[in-house]
Structures are given as structure tokens and as C-alpha cells.
Amino acid sequence: MAVITFKGNPIHTFGSLPPVGSLCPDFRLTAADLSDKTLKDFAGKTKILNIVPSLDTGVCQASARRFNAEAAKRPDVVIINISADLPFAQKRFCDSEGLTNVVNLSTMRSPEFGNDFGVRIVDGPLAGLLSRAVLVVDASNRVRHAQQVPEIAQEPDYAAALAALG
């Protein structure tokens, strides 16, 4: 269980992030076309999992924009935004912002993702949503970087995530 804050107030997550050096857990999440996507769909690629509470908030939107811009410089990397938002809402936001270098995946049919990755918020006003976290996963599905952002209203450490790409 991680202790993080939301506007300075302590909240907790279920479990903890997969540790650096471990194999990334598999997942089954929902894409914009309502198909299921798993880790295997991104085989052989380096992945940044940008896990956020909702793309309907300013900080989550900022991280999606920033990683979209960085992905344009790194065609060998796939950026995956993961949230509990419905795929339609994720697509609407990215279409309106012109974010074409990211893949959006929803936990709408897979609430176990939050437990498997240690990011499900278990108490406070955001209980049930995902905490803000970033994982860098290499082409062999090994976790190379893991950050549980300590304050929900804070952006992730982009420099550390990008440095982990090598």
C-alpha cells in the first residue's frame, strides 16, 4: 500500500507498483474501438504507461500532452495513457487536442488493473480511480522505471521516465 496525497490530504493505494527489474504484469484493457488490448499487443516495443485518474483533469491532460510531444521524437516508443475514463471520453480529449502519438486504454472492463499494478485508490474522494503513476517497460517487458507520483495534483517526473528509455 502506498500513501500518497490528494491536495495535501493522505490517501492510499492498493498494493505497490511493479518494482524496477521485474516483469510487467499483463493486462486486458479497452481501446477506443472497444477492442481488448493486452501487453502482447505492444510486443517488441518500449512502452511508457502513463497511468492517470482521469483525462478530464488538468494535470492528467498535461501529462498526456507532454508524453504525446515526447513520443513524436521517439518512434520506437509507444505511449499508453491508462485511466478509468470511458474510451469515448479518452478519444474525444485526444482528438480535440490533436494527440496522435498516444494509445488510450480504459479500465472500464478491467478494474483488476488497479490492484495488479498497485494504483487503485482505496480511500478519499478519488476512491476507485487510479493514482498517477508512470512505468517505463522495455521491449522484453521488464520494468525500467516506476514512479508513484506522491501528490495526485503533481505532474510526474518526465526527465526520469525519459532517461529510463536510454
The helix (H) or strand (E) run that includes residue 137 is strand 133-137
- Non-local CB neighbours of 140 within 8 Å, separated by 6+ positions: none
**What φ, ψ does residue 81 adopt, rounded to 5°?**
-85, 130
- Whether 60 is catalytic: yes
> How many whole angstroms separate alpha carbon 112 and alpha carbon 120?
9
List 17, 52, 59, 60, catalytic entry: 60
Q: Please check whether residue 65 is in contact with residue 34, taking contact to mean a CB–CB distance below 8 angstroms.
A: no
What residues are annotated to the active site? 60
